[in-house]
Amino acid sequence: MIPMPLVEALRNAQHAVIFTGAGVSAESGISTFRDSLTGLWERFDATSLATPEAYQADPALVWGWYEWRRMKVLQAQPNPAHRAIAALARRVPRLTLITQNVDDLHERAGSTEVIHLHGSLHQPRCFTCGAQPDVPLAMPDEPEGGRRLSPPGCARCGGQLRPGVVWFGESLPGDALEAAFQAAQQCDLLLSVGTSGVVYPAAEVPGIAWRAGAVVVHVNPQPHVEHPEREFALTGAAGEQLPRLLE
């Protein structure tokens, strides 16, 4: 049963924020960040691979991991959670979608103006000069992943391409973070979907909304609710819970 205050909040919402993490893509078969190291990658630790140091130490290892992840995303489809979020945007006067994910499944489900706090797998750029390749990268030729792949060269300066994601120790895109914090400050309802809330400063977003007086809802099989009021949990998988909000 959806808690009545949540039904009310959804019905009356003037500005809703949806804040998503890896859990929203889990039912598309994209493993969450914490367990993204399946198969040949499981001997590595994601937080140690997702760093500029790891890339500089072994560009082919890090590029191979991201190409494997990009290939998994290209093979995946948006799931009912992505589609419900795109549908919710047509139900409330204003909806801001903020994601920590680097896949494009929200866009492929029909969401527009997605704020990507941590960049995208689909926008590689030159590690040296920042130039983006003028042709999209082909599907990686390694279906199994786990193989080291030398990063392609930069057409402009001869440097090497890097994934267009924000690594640990790197700053988030200032405009994206500013837009996310502002939306959290202004909204009257925030749905936090499929995130463990451990990575900062992105993890500040739900707290900013709650302190500004919004109703906050965590959609997660293992929700983490901090406050006794104005904060709820929809316990379960996003692909099951979010479509219920549209009923």
Q: Which residues contact 191 (CB under 8 A, 6 or more apart)?
A: 16, 17, 18, 19, 217, 219, 242
187 is annotated as contributing to ligand binding: no
d(CA 71, CA 59): 18
Verify binding: residue 245, ligand BV8, rule CB under 6 A: no
Could you tell me the strand order of the sheet in which 189-193 lies?
Answer: 115-116, 94-99, 15-20, 189-193, 215-220, 231-235
- In whole angstroms, how large is the CA radius of gyration of the chain? 18
d(CA 139, CA 241): 33
Which range of residues in 127-135, 136-144, 182-190, 193-201 is near ligand BV8 by CB under 6 A? Answer: 193-201
C-alpha closest to that of 223 among 200, 201, 246, 191: 191
Q: Residue 138 burial (CB < 10 Å; 0-12/13-18/19+)? A: exposed
Verify binding: residue 190, ligand BV8, rule CB under 6 A: no
Binding mask 31-60 for ligand BV8 (x = CB under 6 A): -xxx------------x--x----------
Given CA atoms 79, 23, 50, 104 in this order, what sign does their dihedral have? positive
195 is annotated as contributing to ligand binding: yes
118 in active site: yes
Q: Could you tell me the two tokens for 212?
A: 């500004």
Verify binding: residue 223, Zn ion, rule CB under 5 A: no
Which range of residues in 32-40, 50-58, 97-105, 146-154 is near Zn ion by CB under 5 A? Answer: 146-154
HSE-up (13 A, CA, CB side) for residue 165: 25
Q: Which is nearer to ligand BV8, 94 or 108 (CB)?
A: 108
Q: Which is nearer to ligand BV8, 93 or 169 (CB)?
A: 169
Verify binding: residue 155, ligand BV8, rule CB under 6 A: no
Which range of residues in 4-12, 141-149, 162-170, 227-235 is near ligand BV8 by CB under 6 A? Answer: 162-170
139 Rama sector, left if φ>0, alpha if ψ -120 to 50, beta otherwise: beta
Identified catalytic residue from 82, 118, 122, 224: 118
Verify binding: residue 201, ligand BV8, rule CB under 6 A: yes
Q: Which of 23, 59, 124, 145 binds ligand BV8 (CB under 6 A)?
A: 23
Q: What end-to-end distance do the CA atoms of the chain give, in Å? A: 12
| Residues 95-124 interacting with ligand BV8 (rule: CB under 6 A) | 100, 102, 118
Annotated catalytic residues are 118
- Which residues are known binding-site members? 66, 69, 100-103, 126, 129, 154, 157, 194-196, 220-222, 238
The binding site for ligand BV8 (CB under 6 A) comprises 21-23, 26-27, 32-34, 47, 50, 100, 102, 118, 165-171, 194-196, 198-202, 219-222, 237-238
